[in-house]
Structure 1
Amino acid sequence: MDHETIRFIVGIVGNIISLYLYLSPTPTFVKIVKQKSVKAFKPDPYLATLVNCVMWIFYGLPVVHPHSLLIVTVNSAGVIINITFCSIFFRYSPWPCRKKMIIIFMLEVLFVAGMVAVTLTLEHTHPARSMLVGILCVIMNIVMYAAPLTVVKTVIKTKSVKYMPIFLSIGNLLNGSIWLVYAALDFDPYIMIPNVLGTISGMIQVGLYVIYNKTTNWDEEEEEEPPNEVEMPPSAANA
């Protein structure tokens, strides 16, 4: 097979893995709908993933970075899924949480609109536009990958991986790895950098699971839902 065919196949596999990760919070939202309450769950991961996907869709458009169709397709799915999750969260949240979601969403809209306007008016070549949008996307991904570090700290402190599902951790590892290969095949540093971090993050999570699985009290009852779930939604760069 030629280079482009291999890259296309790798991208398709990446789309499938990313779709699995995007849908992984579904049980949480089924629970929210059944209980008609968001309990202690937070909307932040889904709002962050939403704006992240929109940014990567823009990056993958022909006016910014040609020949990136698979980046656009997977992040379009991410947008639809996370809009659905955010809508459910909004529906069953108290007013203070709704107000916070509205403010964050409006800030995200303003940020994306500003990014699009600056990119299309000030930058006139594909390399320049790719660099500007790519850097912003990388920064967003780094912020998103930093989020689970608090949970990693909790795992080490409590010696428990009860709230770090192994299949999600493996999914994160596979997702980062496959998109790292995709980026390497055409050397796209803006996709490569966040997925190096994603691969490392996945390896750390799987490693912690192996280490602390035996010390985890799986039968212990919790009084309330955990305030933070280890949900590492794929970024468009980890497309």
Structure 2
Amino acid sequence: MDTLVFFIGVIGNVISVLMFLSPGKTFVRIVTKKSTEEFECFPYICTLLNSSLWTYYGIIKPESYLVATVNGFGVVVEIVYVALFLIFAPPNKRVRTAVVVGILNVGFLAATLLATYFLLEIELRIDAIGLISSGLNILMYASPLSAMKTVVTTKSVEYMPFLLSFFFFLNGGVWTFYAILVDDWFLGVPNSIGFALGALQLLLYAIYRNTKKSDKSSPEFDTNQISHTQPLLPNC
């Protein structure tokens, strides 16, 4: 059983790394055009927060180093994505995005780590971090719903990259299986939801992949619809 758990965990790590890197084409486009267009940074900001919490969870929970390693890698990648977004976003969007980064990735993260470290014993600390991370993951996995609605409305998948959707699907499935093997429902519940939503995104791709691309210009940052084509959620 231990060998199987390790094997599935390694596969999950590989898929998660590929999923972290899959938006690379999007950021090459942003750098080339020197514009963030209709892409939004909020899911990357939240993924950075999520990856940070899961890294801590993997560190403090015994035998969860596979969770810590891939999310530690994710933290580095997401920092790069957020930095590029801040560089090439319009001034208005840049300021508002920076505020969100400060609130979530600095303020909320620091408060959570300090509170759980000083106020809770190790077992309760693990459960608290796992519960918070799992809740954030569920919200993250739900974040493509806005983009999926846009796909149906515009009949275009231009702003929902296929690779991200594909790895979203694989990632949810592999980590759900891993969570069952190690009996970790903090990992299992959100990833099973991600697996189902990933399957739905691939279905939308099959339906709308041949339709004409959207030619909309890049809108201003809308705090009521802070979404992107897709979130990046590895094993969290």
1:224 paired to 2:224? no
CA displacement 1:96-133 (0-9 Å, x = unmatched): 2232232212212111111112212222132x222211
Question: What residue number does 2:224 align with?
Answer: none
The Cα of 1:229 is off from its aligned counterpart by 4.5
Query: Where does 1:91-170 land on structure 2 (aligned, <5 Å)?
Result: 91-108=87-104, 109-126=106-123, 128-170=124-166
CA displacement 1:18-75 (0-9 Å, x = unmatched): 111111111121122222222332221211111111011111113xx11110111111
- State the AA in 2 paired with 1:222: D
CA displacement 1:165-190 (0-9 Å, x = unmatched): 33332211111000011111011010
After TM superposition, the score normalised by the length of structure 2 is 0.88
- State the AA in 1 paired with 2:4: I
Query: Where does 1:166-181 land on structure 2 (aligned, <5 Å)?
Result: 166-181=162-177
Identity of aligned residues (%): 36
8 Å CA contact 1:25, 1:231 repeated in 2: no
8 Å CA contact 2:47, 2:78 repeated in 1: yes
- State the AA in 2 paired with 1:40: E
- State the AA in 1 paired with 2:15: I
1:191 and 1:183 map into 2 onto residues whose CA distance is 6
8 Å CA contact 1:162, 1:217 repeated in 2: no
More deviation in 194-203 or 204-213? Answer: 204-213
The Cα of 1:225 is off from its aligned counterpart by 5.4
- Mark the CA change 1:173 to 1:71 in structure 2 (over 3 Å): closer, same or farther: same
8 Å CA contact 2:35, 2:89 repeated in 1: yes
The Cα of 1:226 is off from its aligned counterpart by 8.4
- Mark the CA change 1:140 to 1:235 in structure 2 (over 3 Å): closer, same or farther: farther
2:208 and 2:82 map into 1 onto residues whose CA distance is 33
2:207 and 2:48 map into 1 onto residues whose CA distance is 33
Q: CA RMSD in A?
A: 2.0
- State the AA in 1 paired with 2:160: M
Structure (1 or 2) with the larger CA radius of gyration: 1
- State the AA in 2 paired with 1:231: Q
8 Å CA contact 1:21, 1:233 repeated in 2: yes
- State the AA in 1 paired with 2:107: L
8 Å CA contact 1:176, 1:199 repeated in 2: yes
Q: Is the helix fraction higher in 1 or 2?
A: 2
1:68 paired to 2:39? no
1:201 and 1:19 map into 2 onto residues whose CA distance is 20
What are structure 1's unaligned runs of at least 5 residues? Answer: none
What are structure 2's unaligned runs of at least 5 residues? Answer: 221-226
8 Å CA contact 1:180, 1:192 repeated in 2: yes
1:36 paired to 2:34? yes
8 Å CA contact 1:54, 1:79 repeated in 2: yes
1:66 and 1:152 map into 2 onto residues whose CA distance is 38
8 Å CA contact 2:42, 2:228 repeated in 1: no
8 Å CA contact 2:51, 2:75 repeated in 1: yes
Question: What residue number does 2:16 align with?
Answer: 18
1:226 and 1:210 map into 2 onto residues whose CA distance is 27
2:218 and 2:17 map into 1 onto residues whose CA distance is 25
